[in-house]
Chain A
């Protein structure tokens, strides 16, 4: 009886899709277009983050220890440094190591004759978690007693962070607008179905069909249109993304930026597309059927 009912809903939903095939096709196309635009912007935002992430590995703050402190005391500061918010890790570099690595950069060792390690300072190489908070982390580190100075190169990443924020903002606004547009188109498509079948619906009501019985085929229709849109959009998104990133990064040859590979995001994208497609389909059809269920 129950599966019987489900079969009926699915059959009716399919029939409805094909009785106004052109409009169904149009609404799938709109969903596909909206999803691809949303998806592309999300991928762009993701890539900016991804590239920032690549820089983040190099984004360090050097925290110099007060000269008057012994190495043992200086090393002891590590726990305090690690406790600072946004610090990912901290590595101690003694003044001897610092000198070695400095001197090591030059061929002519004689330049440094007579220069002792005491002109260098003990320091920590501090890696931050979020590049955006670097300046804040820098000042927190300065607040630790025994840290004399903290230096960071903020300018490299500032531009990227601004870009990420702009792209994320645009993506969010665009996604909201496109969601409303697809809902509108979807509900109009289903409305066409309910209009074609208004006599049937009236008779169903008259003989005592429940609202949910009348509603379900249209929900199924919306669900199927949304799912189809999501699947087509996913494949199209894949092709478009691969094509564009290949162009930009020179077909996989060496390049100064690397785009995130599509496979890395394929699972969240298909899930998000299906979720949005199905949401648009189901909500759109509920909106469309509402007025016929009153009487």
Chain B
């Protein structure tokens, strides 16, 4: 669940990254967030994960009000989120299994739960056979699937992906987006930042487009040519 109401963000150096953003995402929804480079997409993601605070406006995520929350509550919010990045952010010296198990251990899960849950999640992302491989032995697409497994393993209510396909070729990108769609069908809310115009069109999902820190369209129908027409 996401409720962003009239959100402004100005960075310390004076850059006005967001100028009145309204985004409402209900539980179970799937949405793409698109826009040109520098339009404020990552800023929105960072606001949702609590990495930065808004200059003005309300940010509610999974029932937590980030504008007024105590810092001590941050871990509780983050346990309801799964975050995926363009650069995977896997730990090179841990194998696939450990990269995923590590995220469970970090929130205090017990050994038995970990041994049950990790293989299940790896199977779900299609990496059941690669559990003992190291990240550098995997293709980019496989590495990103490990990151998806890690985001998924603590059973989050909302998955946020910031350009998860940015480093992948089109077939791998489609695989990742299909995987995220499958996860959404299993009940998790998903918000994906992406540039993949053709893929976005193929999946026919809700698309929120921003430019210059403002929402320029939000709906199910072909928005995406908006800034190509400019």
Contacts and interface: CB of A to CB of B under 8 A. Distances in A.
B154 A208 contact: yes
B75 interface: yes
Interface in A204-252: 204-210, 213
A203 B75 contact: no
Contacts of B74: 208
B110 A207 contact: no
A295 interface: yes
Interface in B68-92: 74-81, 83, 89, 91
B107 interface: yes
B35 to A, nearest CB: 23
A99 B83 CA distance: 99
Contacts of B108: 1, 5, 213
B106 interface: yes
B91 A207 contact: no
B49 interface: yes
A200 B78 contact: no
Given A4-B110, A4-B111, A5-B108, A208 B79 contact: yes
B83 A209 contact: no
Interface residues of A, number: 17
Interface string A163-179: 00000000000000000
A207 B89 contact: no
Contact of B102 (A203, A205, A295): A203
A209 B75 contact: yes
Interface in B103-131: 103, 105-108, 110-111
B51 interface: yes
B102 A200 contact: yes
Given A208-B107, A209-B106, A209-B107, A295 B75 contact: no
Nearest to B92: A199
Contacts, number: 48
Contact of B78 (A4, A5, A207, A213): A207
Given A1-B110, A5-B108, A8-B105, A207 B49 contact: no
B51 A207 contact: no
A226 to B, nearest CB: 26
A92 B209 CA distance: 105
Contacts of B107: 207-209
A209 B77 CA distance: 11
Given A199-B91, A203-B103, A213-B106, A208 B75 contact: yes
Nearest to B52: A295
Interface in B178-222: none
A120 B189 CA distance: 107
B77 A206 contact: no
B110 A203 contact: no
B89 A208 contact: no
A260 B89 CA distance: 61
A295 B51 CA distance: 6
B106 A208 contact: yes
A185 B167 CA distance: 41
A208 B76 contact: yes
B91 A204 contact: no
Given A199-B89, A199-B91, A200-B91, A207 B111 contact: no
Interface in A20-52: none
A208 B83 contact: no
A133 B183 CA distance: 84
Contacts of A204: 102, 106
Interface string A181-198: 000000000000000000
A199 B83 CA distance: 14
A209 B111 CA distance: 16
A202 to B, nearest CB: 8
B218 to A, nearest CB: 27
A65 to B, nearest CB: 75
Nearest to A206: B83
Contacts of A1: 108, 110
A2 to B, nearest CB: 10
A169 B30 CA distance: 71
Nearest to B76: A208
Contacts of B78: 205-208
Interface in A262-295: 295
22 contacts: A8-B105, A199-B89, A199-B91, A200-B91, A203-B89, A203-B91, A203-B102, A203-B150, A204-B102, A204-B106, A206-B49, A206-B78, A206-B83, A207-B150, A208-B74, A208-B80, A208-B81, A208-B107, A209-B106, A210-B75, A213-B106, A295-B51
Top 7 A-B pairs, shortest CB-CB distance:
A208-B78, A208-B79, A209-B106, A204-B106, A208-B75, A207-B103, A210-B75
Given A200-B102, A204-B102, A204-B106, 11 more contacts: A206-B78, A207-B106, A207-B154, A208-B76, A208-B80, A208-B106, A209-B107, A210-B75, A213-B106, A213-B108, A295-B51
